[in-house]
Structure 1
């Protein structure tokens, strides 16, 4: 017997026992009779197991009245209140009417109607809101009278707000943490703010909290709302509990349009020295001008007296602001409490336009900053060509020496690696052969020390290149020695190509190859040995007499040891006796890159274990622990025991320049 020939009662029982949608679909496709029975079961099944909360909820959300009606014929209730809520949220008035019709003569209670009103205001749905009030007699929830108005305001629905106000909503009531007027102030809804004020909202009321509506509008930059509030009598200088005015909040939150409006269109806005300092920090020339026109004195506030206003403007590079302050009579030479002038700040922060302004207005180009440097030193150190040129054109002393090591701007320009700045200084009668008096470093020394290959090549091509090539500093180090010690392999190759003297030792008897070996630079060691194989058998005279093998084993570099062994096999050499049974106490060069080299043995070491002689090299002579115990001072004019030694010095002299080297290290 075919299944369609079974009695309807039995077919209903069979279909009712099917527990999955695929089975129900297969049965529905069998025939017209079974499709009717299966469809009924499908509606019932989906209402319970549907992925969207049931077929009726899906239909209510999408406005499908036909599906809801079909569900009702299948015995599924469409009188559930959540269906009405979905309809109210999504604006389906036809669904709302259908649900209401299924609920009898009094479809909704007063609480349910209030809930529907809140939902309609939150989205917002003006047609639903009108239908609820006029068709169902809804009222605003007396237990939550503020939520509807707050929701409508957040949704920026002016018509909804008007309906609620006409229905008795109180605009002064607090919703959660804020009134409807405060919401309008923050969001910039000027029309709603005006409507709320027409219906009795209080523009002055801070509701025992921190901000008034004026403060909120200012800090969010709502100029249109500020205009509305002022028309209703809001005071532009109203303060918070901590004394902040709307103007101060607008400046603090970078709302320049609101701050400008308050200063241009109101009186008693509360502009003072603090707000003037704030707008200078933010570089707003228009607001600075408005402050000065309002009679605010161009002096720092009492709470922050550390820097002059001109110093702040110069450090920010605010050229227009600096010009206004100078016109207002601010002293051009007063900077911060440490003694740095506005010119020094502008140079340090690389603001050439501000530097030119200050120089034209009479700033002293040779003023000494708190670090002991002059503006020209800082400009040269950072490779700032425009600023260097401007300073020289306005009388900067091109040969001024630093207090630390008597370096000139030319030496510091070589540290930056900027060839154009070096050339600019040389045009001012600088001698490229000159050395820093404190440590004897030449321009080529500085280029090698800082790793500037292009500058090194340029210096070697100058007429003084041959003289610079093998020049010595106060400890006898040549540029090749420094490059080999610091692992500057490209510069070493360039110096070797220019026939630098590989055997020229420092005043402690150590040659460049030993500086390379002690610091684990196997590639540089190989380059030096390839140029001068005699170096393989050489010995130093630091304290005792040791071979390259000895220092390679001390360093602990397997690459160096293998290099020397390969070299020994090629030239028939034997391992020296002093290299046997040597314990490695060093580190690979990669672990020593951030340490300071010893001025005696050239090995890098932790600076906190250094000892400094206050007589040698102008008081800037540093020795590692081992050299302090075994070596002698550089200066033979005094015995080591009579020197004034400073153990664990706090700062290496080169570090004193780091705070002023932003551009060149970028």
Structure 2
């Protein structure tokens, strides 16, 4: 399988009276063994073994969508073999119906029996109905889709669940704010996972980005993890679009000085996005004035990022701050070099003429915090 070696399965290691729930799934080696064993059980049409492995291994230990060199997932094999019970089991545990092998075939394309195909077709139909109901804010249609067999956490081809879509819907004549909140409340009550992560983030990150504080509060109450990052490593705190959203997360335990994978903090984020009121709040309440010249992993300071993203008002504010330095990034480019915007270059011309300051050491927190 992709990225995995062929391991012999020590059966008594996994299947025993005590189960293997004491395995946390944090060992990559053990995860590979468990995943290979599961994959092999599916290929051999051994439903009892596949189900037992999934039941007794810790959550996350088995990658149910692992593929071999031909891009074949367990569901591809089950569909190709026409194993109706295996197909249903794999779908129930979250197998990806949209996965494509090296020939661009989905599991449905490989179905050789009508009964097996009908299972997949029905699930796809219910998924479509549920996702459309979520986008419309229609609780009645969502309830019907679930009653007809729809799966609450089944993702679309991009990994988004009904909850992602419900949170992301913009208020309009066809979907009021109350309807949006009602559909999200309904989905959460019926088991929607608030922590499903996509490239765009979690439902909570979407709500924060839309500055929907009541929605964010609802998701947190339902178990949304405020410490999650999206698939690009962006922390939830960075999605806060306002002071209120930021303070909500801090009140729930978020670290205001958190950094992303590029060692960027909230000052970098607000400079990049032009969130001037939040930047001013960070400096006034959290002492981040002391971090204004802190470089990220690429040597880019908040001023550099503001210039790169043409955040004119943020630049005006930053260059007026006592002690602000004009720092070049690790690649030698200065803030003014990052843009052709005339207004930005005019604001930075005096600093550019004076030359860049020495490269600084990164800092995480201001003194005393």
| TM-score, structure 2 normalization | 0.55
User: 2:165 is paired with a residue of what secondary structure?
Assistant: helix
> Structure 1 residues 333, 524: closer, same or farther in 2, change over 3 A?
closer
| Equivalent residue runs for 1:460-471 within 5 Å | 460-471=283-294
Distance 2:301 2:294 in 1: 6
Aligned length: 232
Which of these residues, 140, 149, 152, is aligned with residue 332 of structure 1? 152
- RCO (CA 8 Å, sep 6+): is it higher in 1 or 2? 2
Distance 1:323 1:524 in 2: 53
> Structure 1 residues 331, 524: closer, same or farther in 2, change over 3 A?
closer
Partner of 1:379: 207
1:397 paired with 2:225, answer yes
Structure 1: gaps (5+ residues): 1-298, 542-666
1:342 paired with 2:159, answer no
> Structure 1 residues 301, 523: closer, same or farther in 2, change over 3 A?
closer
Q: 1:312: how far off?
A: 2.0
> Structure 1 residues 496, 321: closer, same or farther in 2, change over 3 A?
same
Contact 1:453 1:491 in 2 (8 A): yes
Considering only aligned residues, what root-mean-square deviation do their CA atoms show, in Å?
Answer: 3.2
Partner of 1:361: 190
| Equivalent residue runs for 1:252-651 within 5 Å | 305=125, 307-326=127-146, 330-350=150-170, 351-369=180-198, 371=199, 373-404=201-232, 406-413=233-240, 417-437=241-261, 439-510=262-333, 514-517=334-337, 519-528=339-348, 535-538=352-355
Partner of 1:208: none
Distance 2:187 2:128 in 1: 14
| Equivalent residue runs for 1:28-177 within 5 Å | none
User: 2:194 is paired with a residue of what secondary structure?
Assistant: coil
Contact 1:300 1:307 in 2 (8 A): no
Contact 2:257 2:266 in 1 (8 A): yes
User: 1:462 is paired with a residue of what secondary structure?
Assistant: helix
Contact 1:444 1:469 in 2 (8 A): yes
Query: Deviation per CA, 1:242-292, whole angstroms, max 9, x where unpaired?
Result: xxxxxxxxxxxxxxxxxxxxxxxxxxxxxxxxxxxxxxxxxxxxxxxxxxx
Distance 2:291 2:146 in 1: 47
Q: 1:431: how far off?
A: 1.3
Q: 1:325: how far off?
A: 4.2
Q: 1:435: how far off?
A: 1.0
Q: 1:427: how far off?
A: 1.3
User: 2:281 is paired with a residue of what secondary structure?
Assistant: helix
> Structure 1 residues 320, 467: closer, same or farther in 2, change over 3 A?
farther
Distance 1:474 1:444 in 2: 14
| TM-score, structure 1 normalization | 0.32
Partner of 1:598: none
Distance 1:363 1:302 in 2: 20
Q: 1:320: how far off?
A: 3.1
> Structure 1 residues 334, 525: closer, same or farther in 2, change over 3 A?
closer
Distance 1:302 1:326 in 2: 12
Structure 2: gaps (5+ residues): 1-118, 171-179, 359-369
Distance 2:323 2:243 in 1: 22
